[in-house]
Amino acid sequence: MVTGSLRSSPEGRLIEIYRTIAAGNKNALPLAEALVRDVPDFQLGQLVYGDLLIAQSGALPGLAPVKDGPPAVREQLQNLRAEANRRLAALKEMPPPGTVPEQVLELAGNVRHVVVVDASHSRVFVFEQQAGGLQLIRSSYASIGRAGFGKQLEGDLRTPLGVYHITSRLDDQQVDELYGVGALPLNYPNEHDRRLGRTGSGIWLHGVPRVAYNRSPYATEGCVALANDDMTYLMDVLQTRRTPVIIADEVNWVRPAELAAERRGFLALCTQWQTAYVRGDNQVLQALQTADFNARESSSFHNVSSKVDARRTIPEPDPQARWSNVSVFRWSRQAEVAIVNYTATSPRQSRSVDRRQYWVQEQRRWQLFFDGPV
C-alpha cells in the first residue's frame, strides 16, 4: 500500500481536484483555492485554479490545448499540461499489487529500500523490504534530462538508464539552491557504462529550487529531480552505498515467483566463482571471466593493458573467505548484465569488505568482467 505522495500531498490534492472536475462537481474550485493558498509555488495547481476561475460561470474545463500567446508562455503552458498528464496517468500506471521490478533477482537482508525511476512516465517508486518481500511505499512525480533518457556522452542532457547505487548524501548546505534541500549522488558511470564507453558524471537524485514546487517532465541536465518534500523523504530513509536505484525507460513489473528459476541459476553461478576463488582454481576462474576482466582497474593502477596481464588481477586465493549480504540485479538493455553486491569476510582481514561484481551474458554464457570494492 502506498502511504506517501498520492494521499494528502500537493499531488494527491491536485489529483482529487481533477477527479472532482471529471465528476462535474463544482467543489473543485474551493479545493483548488485551498491548494494554491497552501502551496503557492505549485504552478500546475495555479493553472488549474485559473482554469476553474475562468469557467466558474459555466461548465468546468478540461485540459485545453495551448494555441495563443508568446512562445515562452506557450512552452511553459505546454510543459504544465504534459506534467498534468503524467501525474494523472500515474493513477492507472501504478505497479500491480504484489509485483516487483524485473531487475531485482535477489535482495540482501541489509538492504532496506529499492528505488525505481520510470523515466518515460516521470515517476519514482520507493519499495521497502518487509517480511513479505518488497512492498511499494511511496510514489512521486519526477523530472529527467531535457533531452530524455539513454545517456551516452558527457553533456548530452540525457538521464542514464541502468542499475545504480547511491554513493553519498549532500544536504542543502553542500549544494547550490538549484538542487533544493539536497542530493543523493549515483555511481554513474558504473562499470558497465565504462565498458561501453559512456562518459559524463554528476548524476544525482536531487530537489528543486525553493521558488518552484517542481520542474517540468524534461528539465534537468541528466539528473532526476523531485519536489523538495519528496526529496527530503528520500534523504531521510535511503541508505548510502547500499540502496539500488533502477532507472528504466519502461518498467516491467513481475511476480517474484517469475524470477525464481533465473535467481537460482545465477546464484549457482556466483557460488561456482566463489568456490574457484577460495580454492585458487585459476582455470575455472579464467573460464568464468572475460578476457578484459578488471582491465580498467589494471590499467589504472598497474599500467597494464594487455588481456593476459589484465587477468593477473584475479584475487589471491583465500580458503577462509566467506560471502554474505548478496544482492543480484539484472539489466537487459543493449546487453544482458548482472550486478552482484556482496560482503567478503575473512580472518585474514581486519574487517569485512563490501564488493561489487559486473557480469555480462554473451552467446548465452555468463562471464564476470569486474570485481572490486564498493
Task: Say if residue 22 is in the same domain as residue 81.
Answer: yes
Residue that terminates a domain, selected from 24, 55, 89:
89
Do residues 301 and 193 share a domain? no
Q: Which three cell numbers stand for residue 132?
A: 513479505
**Contact between residue 144 and residue 224 where contact means Cβ atoms under 8 Å apart:** yes
pLDDT tens-place values along the chain, 374 residues long: 454 445 578 888 888 888 888 888 888 899 999 999 999 888 888 888 888 887 765 544 444 455 566 676 677 778 788 888 888 888 778 899 999 999 999 999 999 999 999 999 999 999 999 998 999 999 999 999 999 999 999 999 999 999 999 999 999 999 999 999 999 999 999 999 999 999 999 999 999 999 888 888 999 999 999 999 999 999 999 999 999 999 999 999 999 999 999 999 999 999 999 999 888 898 999 999 999 998 865 443 333 333 334 444 455 777 778 899 999 999 998 889 999 999 999 877 777 899 999 999 988 899 999 999 99
Residues 6+ apart with CB under 8 A from 185: 166, 167, 168, 170, 202, 203, 204
- Decide if 1 is inside a domain: no
The CATH number covering residue 142 comes to 2.40.440.10
* Helical packing angle, 71-89 and 10-22, nearest 10°: 90
The CA distance from 151 to 160, in Å, is 4
The CATH number of the domain holding residue 309 is 3.10.450.50
User: Are 249 and 105 in the same domain?
Assistant: yes
- Using the 3D structure, point to which of 55, 89, 123 is the last residue of a domain: 89
Q: Are residues 114 and 248 in the same domain?
A: yes
From 224, 253, 282, the end of a domain falls on 253
Residue 311: predicted pLDDT: 42
Query: How, if at all, do strands 224-226 and 322-333 pair?
Result: unpaired
- This prediction has a pTM of 0.85
10-22 helix and 43-54 helix, angle to the nearest 10 degrees: 30
Per-residue confidence (pLDDT) for residue 86, from 0 to 100: 85
**Number of domains composing the chain:** 3
- Domain limits for position 224: 100-253
301 and 201 share one domain: no
Q: Are residues 265 and 151 in the same domain?
A: no
Does residue 5 belong to any structural domain of this protein?
no
pLDDT of residue 184: 98
pLDDT at 69: 61
